[in-house]
Chain A
Amino acid sequence: MTLSPADFFTDYTLRSIVLGSALLGLVAGTLGCFSVLRRQSLIGDTVAHAALPGICAAFLLTGTRDTLGLLVGGGLSGLLASLLALAILRYSRLKEDVALGVTFSTFFGIGIALLTAIGQSGNAAQAGLEGFLFGQAAALTAGDVARFAVLGALALGTVAALHKEFQISLFDPDYAAVQGWPVAGLTALPTALTVLAVMLGLQTVGVVLMAAMLIAPAVAARQWTRGLGGMLRLAGVFGALSGGLGAALSLAFSPAGGAGLPTGAVTVLTATALAVLSLLLAPGRGLLAGLARQRRARARLLGDLAGRQR
């Protein structure tokens, strides 16, 4: 199919996909800042994998492939895994990467065991259960978009309302504890919101690519600003831009009748490109600006030395 820009405003399906992906990018980009700053960048990957046993359990309990039930089940086991990871950090000397790695690999393993056990039981309705993990933006409907908007507003509203509390418990947890704030809760809350974002994204971009939707916008935003507030807002904008642009590009370049470009993958590559450009080009923290600064400093030093010799 050939597309003109006007189609995005008139075509119901296109609008749902582009709007839905942009909303997802906005929420994921904003929340990703917390995990990147806490050295828990891969928590999205962890939650997305850890959702599998919950999805299987929800299927076993309800006996249907009803999307909402599976999402709730997956969300609960993703939340359990991320809280377990936080508990490991609290009660042992193990580092962030180990805490995340241990929880996601064992949860995912248990999920695989459950999935195969369900498969052996000969229940036909289980077919395609794992397809849930790979994401399909093309399946987004206006109803999904509305759901994204409500849940996203809830998540972003929480971040806006508790901005100060989150900021202090993120950068100086000891001070926050001394002030009598519930640091454990203030750490777990952004994590829980991230779980929410991941579960929203699972349907659109899939398990692996969800990791990138949390990380890349945050990395890009960090290059342009020093404050947390600015970083959160900018990461949201970058995320929305990658989501909308990625979805539009994948639709625009899909050949008629062909399988087309997978939206999740194009979205992730768009976000990665934004991050790489920001790493290179940003004023101040950019690599090129750093090189130029180094060269100027060297020239000044050589000039000074030459002046002294005369």
Chain B
Amino acid sequence: MTLPFDLVIVGTAVLVAWACTLPGLFLVLRRQALLGDAISHAALPGIVAGYWLSGGSLATLPALVGASLSGLLTVGLSALIARSGRVKEDAALGLVFPALFAAGVIAVSLNYGNVHLDLDAVLYGEIAYTPFRTGWLGLPAAWVLVGGMGLVNALFVGGLYKELKLSTFDPGLARTLGFSPRLLSGALLTLVALTVVAAFDAVGAVLVVAFLIVPSATALLLTRRLGTALALALGAGLSASVLGYVVALALDASITGAVAGVLGLQFVLALAAQAFRARRVRGRAVLGR
């Protein structure tokens, strides 16, 4: 079975968008929006280790396992540092991921100076190549991997929706009611690390980081209700994938870059709409109506 290239590429982008948005919305609400960026950079030493342990074959699986493990290490270490109370979350993250990245850079330059194991190969995965890699049941490999991850995320968010909502907005109450916000948060962050790694193999880190944050941020500008925000964010990811692909074809530019650009444009429009509405509401309040 061969699917049309257009369908495979846009389909991959939409699947990545949805797989990322499900946990991404909660990251945005929990002030952990930059976690995706951190994980994608900190994955480097894990990729190098996977490469080394698998005896130097450029196999995807060991690299993915290594990347997931160093992603989890990033999450765990920065949480540990932040919990010491000496450093805020953002600074803790900013201490951990550059250090891991630096270690990876050193490992690459010492051992693999002349092997093609650089950032381009891993972080800038190219969505235009997805039609050429076939996975299970003749479906594109990216669909299987990212779609599977998206399904797991959907089950997690769908099954624990109330619990996630409560522990995001009121962790104290969640603890009092007897379920552990820390356990839930650990599960969420684990899913984020796995999703980031699965998706950047398909579309590159740039788009993964954008999809984790931007659709959710856009949606939260337009509504204060969590369910509505989730629906809007999924819609924003869908429209940006389709529009971005069209723009990329027209300009003969990177699909990844164009989709990220469209996401940014949608956000700016939402911000302008929100600012306009806020001004009108204020104006009405002044008039006393």
Contact = CB atoms under 8 A, between A and B. Distances in A.
Contact of A287 (B86, B88, B221): B86
Given A39-B90, A112-B256, A268 B261 contact: no
Contact of A98 (B94, B217, B248): B217
B35 to A, nearest CB: 9
B60 interface: no
Interface in A272-297: 272, 275-276, 279, 285, 287
Interface in B27-75: 28, 31-34, 36-37, 41
A110 B264 CA distance: 9
B101 interface: yes
A108 B260 contact: yes
B147 to A, nearest CB: 23
Contacts of A108: 206, 260
Interface residues of B, number: 58
Nearest to A108: B206
Interface stretch (A68-76, A193-201, A208-216): A208-216
A57 B94 CA distance: 29
Contacts of A116: 252-254, 257
A191 interface: no
Interface string A115-133: 1110010000000000000
Contacts of B220: 93-94
A106 interface: yes
A-side interface mostly: helix
Interface in A79-97: 88, 91-97
Contact of A105 (B95, B99, B214, B275): B214
Interface string B102-135: 1101100110010000000000100000000000
A126 B193 CA distance: 34
A262 B106 CA distance: 7
Nearest to A282: B86
B228 interface: no
B87 A279 contact: yes
A16 interface: no
Nearest to A87: B271
A265 B99 CA distance: 8
A216 B210 CA distance: 26
B263 interface: yes
A113 B217 contact: no
Contacts of B37: 42, 45, 101, 104-105
Contacts of A216: 95, 98
A111 interface: yes
Given A42-B93, A102-B214, A261-B110, A109 B253 contact: no
B273 to A, nearest CB: 11
A92 B88 contact: no
Interface residues of A, number: 61
Contacts of A102: 213-214, 217, 264, 267
A262 B220 CA distance: 42
B98 A106 contact: no
B275 A40 contact: no
A272 B95 CA distance: 7
A100 B271 CA distance: 15
Interface string A182-220: 000000000000000000000000001101101110110
Nearest to A258: B113
Nearest to A94: B217
A220 B63 CA distance: 33
Contacts of B98: 208-209, 211-212, 215-216, 268, 272
27 contacts: A41-B93, A42-B34, A42-B90, A45-B34, A45-B94, A91-B274, A95-B31, A96-B31, A97-B31, A101-B33, A101-B212, A101-B213, A104-B37, A105-B210, A106-B261, A106-B264, A108-B260, A109-B207, A109-B259, A114-B257, A117-B252, A208-B41, A212-B102, A215-B94, A258-B113, A261-B110, A272-B95
Nearest 7 interchain pairs by C-beta:
A109-B260, A106-B264, A113-B257, A112-B257, A212-B98, A265-B102, A105-B210
Interface of A: 36, 39-42, 45, 88, 91-98, 100-117, 120, 208-209, 211-212, 214-216, 218-219, 222-223, 258-262, 264-266, 268-269, 272, 275-276, 279, 285, 287
